[in-house]
Amino acid sequence: MIINSRFFNRSELIGFVTLALLLFLILPLSLDAFRLNLVAKYLTYAFVAIGLVLCWGYGGILSLGQGMFFGLGGYCMAMFLKLEASSVENTKIQSTPGIPDFMDWNQITALPFFWKPFHSFPLTLLAIVLVPTLFAFIIGTAMFKRRVGGVYFAIITQAIAAILTILIVGQQGYTGGINGITDLRTLNGWDIRTDHAKFILYFVEVVLLFGCIVTAQFIRLTKLGRILVAMREQEDRVRFSGYSVANFKIFAFCAAAIFSAIGGALFTLEVGFMSPSFVGIVPSIEMVIYTAVGGRMSIFGAVYGSLLVNFAKTTLSESFPQLWLFGLGALFIAVVLAFPNGLSGIWADHVQSRIDRLISSIKRKSGGWTSNSVADGAPAE
Amino acid sequence: MLIGHQPKPFLLAVEALTVSFDGFKAVNNLSFYVEENEIRVIIGPNGAGKTTVLDLICGKTKATSGSIQFRGKELTKLKENQIVQTGVGRKFQTPSVFEDLTVFENLEISYPRGRTVFGSLTFQRDDAVKQRIEEVAEMIFLKDRLDTYADQLSHGQKQWLEIGMLLIQDPELLMLDEPVAGMSVSERAKTAELLNRIIKDRSVLVIEHDMKFVEDIAHKVTVLHQGQILSEGTMEKVKNDPKVIEVYLGH
């Protein structure tokens, strides 16, 4: 009986090393600062996509509202940066100095209570994780304990994302409204707008991304990961095996929310602002498309899906701004109809199998030589 | 209606159980008792409410009124997973196994440890688990298929796998809904042998249509008709009951 107990199997290890080379070496060495910052922006969506792999690909819970967690994480970070940018000397021309400019424009004269914790960086980091988790926990508990699932759950998450957008836009004095929170400058005194800062932030982001990849892989390999798959197929059998299905769904949904929130916070740092246009229905659906294109069962696929779709979006929307949304819709339909396992499915079915055949034929031809070749799969440890 | 008045503690006491779906009483004022180590078979024509009775006991359907006591615990107030944890296992009519997981993983999920979210995150596949899984796999004739994905199994093998998943839970009361339906003759014989082995030291509640199979295994038979008990007793007694012959066996 051979049950693979290694953390990565051979093809996953190759995928991990390839992605690490690409993100740590090839892209930073070959792209200029502007392009690298674009990649950094695309990669923030990869966090969301990895969360969706766990929640949707494995657990079968389709959330069309991941933008709200991305947004909550992003807003938490933006609130901290905005407070730092709104020091008394920076804002002395306002009628109330020391508060963010949009509050002053909306005749607010004191910092609202929920902004106060964001003076502290540690509290902000805590909030980036805790606020979206709590939010996901409340939604998850309310829905899954009542056994709301499938399409109904997807529609409800979409509705909540829409509500959150309306709330943010409507409460202009507290949130910056439709413009969002802009004009962010420094992080603990470190200017985040310079090319050098962006370069460093890119690496911080990639390290965190690999942290998320390893965490997701860890979850996937525990019994919880297998219960998620089991639940997707035969919810009742899981229930009658003694598990509280709702709790497992809540866990998967919260985990996806945390990943999204980390992505959102990094987005704010990389791009320098946060606005409701990253919270609502359209961005949330786009995030699902990144996952679907990459392959909803593949953690690495999620990263490539985010990079490629966003790259296509930037390129095509510059040339054909009106057609882009149709293209995106067509892409989604095409992927679901023709390649339900996305890019990673195409890779596994068409490329991987050929590589395996090639390796085995080389092995047959030249016996001992391959035993120390790279393709033979070094142990994961 | 006090349980304390019963002369002997029953493992399962179903009393005045009623469930109505929009006014239709699928189970109507039903009472029956299952003793320890008893094998009880429920038979009856289609629509008699047999599967509904199992659904009620395992919590899949909520009772409109009445009580179900298992070892003195009221099951009608518990959630499905809590009922499983008190020691009631249920096999469904159509094989419900996890097709995207291997036989080993199917059995592992049913292993009664690490059933909470954090318990399953820290669950270790240790020797005790592996040993138990191999033991059960041998019993259900799937020892050399442990690494096979369940969607590759035949219908009969899936049924066995699901029985194995129940077995590994080690329930005190095992409920089987048509365990030999859709099986070939040889699979049937093997299943009867399997059931005869696993019913030791536990009570079993079986729904089955195959009369030969029922005769082989039943200690006591309950005949249901329109949600009520038509007859109850040994197979011999039930078979000769004119009411039973009229509504069920006569066909």
- The A-side interface with B (CB below 8 A) comprises 1-3, 5, 219, 222-224, 226-227, 229-230, 232-234, 236-245, 247-248, 251
Within chain B, where are the H helices?
Answer: 50-58, 80-86, 103-110, 117-121, 127-139, 155-169, 185-198, 211-217, 235-239, 242-244
* Contacts with B164 from chain A: Cβ below 8 Å: none
Structure token pair of residue B33: 């008792």
* Contacts with A230 from chain B: Cβ below 8 Å: 98, 101, 106, 109
* Closest residue in chain B to residue A250, using alpha carbons only: B117
* Contacts with A251 from chain B: Cβ below 8 Å: 117
* Residue of B98, B111, B135, B165 to mutate when probing chain A, most A C-beta within 10 A: B98
pLDDT of residue B239: 86
Candidate from A227, A236, A245 with C-beta closest to B120? A227
Antiparallel, parallel or unpaired: β B203-207 and B173-177: parallel
- For residue A232, give how far its alpha carbon lies from the nearest alpha carbon of chain B (Å): 9
Query: Does the distance separating the beta carbons of A229 and B100 come in below 8 Å?
Result: yes
A–B CB contacts, 8 A cutoff, strictly below: 88
Q: What is the rounded distance in angstroms from the CA atom of residue B237 to the CA atom of residue B221? A: 9
* Closest residue in chain A to residue B115, using alpha carbons only: A243
Query: Given pLDDT bands bounded at 50, 70 and 90, which one contains residue B95?
Result: confident
pLDDT of residue B2: 53
* Contacts with B112 from chain A: Cβ below 8 Å: 242
The closest alpha carbon to A306, from A296, A323, A293, belongs to A293
Query: How confident is the prediction for chain B on average, in pLDDT?
Result: 89
Candidate from A223, A239, A240 with C-beta closest to B108? A223
Q: What is the rounded distance in angstroms from the CA atom of residue B95 to the CA atom of residue B230? A: 29
Number of H helices, E strands in chain B: 10, 10
Q: Collapsing DSSP states into helix, strand and coil, what is residue B144?
A: helix
Query: Given pLDDT bands bounded at 50, 70 and 90, which one contains residue B251?
Result: low
* Closest residue in chain A to residue B99, using alpha carbons only: A233
Residue by residue, pLDDT tens for chain A (381 residues) are: 344 457 888 888 888 999 999 999 999 999 999 999 999 999 999 999 999 999 999 999 999 999 999 999 999 999 999 999 999 988 899 998 989 999 999 999 999 999 999 999 999 999 999 999 999 999 999 999 999 988 999 999 999 999 999 999 999 999 999 999 999 999 999 999 999 999 999 999 999 999 999 999 999 999 999 999 999 989 999 999 999 999 999 999 999 999 999 999 999 999 999 999 999 999 999 999 999 999 999 999 999 999 999 998 888 888 888 888 888 888 888 888 888 888 888 888 888 888 888 888 888 776 544 444 344 433 333
Query: Does the distance separating the beta carbons of A234 and B96 come in below 8 Å?
Result: yes
Structure token pair of residue A304: 């490539």
DSSP labels, A51-96: HHIIIIIIT----S-HHHHHHHHHHHHHHHHHHHHT-TTTTTTSSS
pLDDT of residue A367: 57
* Closest residue in chain A to residue B144, using alpha carbons only: A1
Candidate from B81, B117, B165 with C-beta closest to A224? B117
* Contacts with A234 from chain B: Cβ below 8 Å: 96-98
Residue B97, pLDDT above cutoff 60: yes
* Closest residue in chain A to residue B143, using alpha carbons only: A1
Query: Does the distance separating the beta carbons of B146 and A237 come in below 8 Å?
Result: no
* Contacts with B121 from chain A: Cβ below 8 Å: 219, 222-224
Burial class (CB in 10 A: 0-12, 13-18, 19+), B91: buried
- The B-side interface with A (CB below 8 A) comprises 58, 60, 79-81, 84-85, 89-90, 92, 96-101, 104-106, 108-110, 112, 114-117, 120-123, 125, 134, 146-147, 162, 165, 169
Q: Indicate the residue type of A21.
A: L
Q: How many CA atoms lie within 13 A of B46 on its CB side?
A: 1
Length reported for chain A: 381
The closest alpha carbon to A68, from A143, A120, A139, belongs to A139
Query: Does the distance separating the beta carbons of B101 and A229 come in below 8 Å?
Result: yes
pLDDT of residue B166: 92
* Residue of A237, A244, A253 to mutate when probing chain B, most B C-beta within 10 A: A237
Interface confidence (ipTM) of the complex = 0.89
User: Mean of the pLDDT values across residues B38-48?
Assistant: 89
- For residue B117, give how far its alpha carbon lies from the nearest alpha carbon of chain A (Å): 6
Q: Indicate the residue type of A122.
A: P
Within B79-234, where are the H helices?
Answer: 80-86, 103-110, 117-121, 127-139, 155-169, 185-198, 211-217
CB under 8 Å to A334, separation ≥6 — which residues? none
pLDDT of residue A371: 42
Q: What is the rounded distance in angstroms from the CA atom of residue B143 to the CA atom of residue A294? A: 37
Q: What is the rounded distance in angstroms from the CA atom of residue A111 to the CA atom of residue A79? A: 11
Residue B26, pLDDT above cutoff 60: yes
Query: Does the distance separating the beta carbons of A238 and B104 come in below 8 Å?
Result: no
- For residue B81, give how far its alpha carbon lies from the nearest alpha carbon of chain A (Å): 4
* Contacts with A240 from chain B: Cβ below 8 Å: 58, 60, 80-81, 84, 89-90, 92
Query: Does the distance separating the beta carbons of A3 and B125 come in below 8 Å?
Result: yes
| pTM to 2 decimal places | 0.91
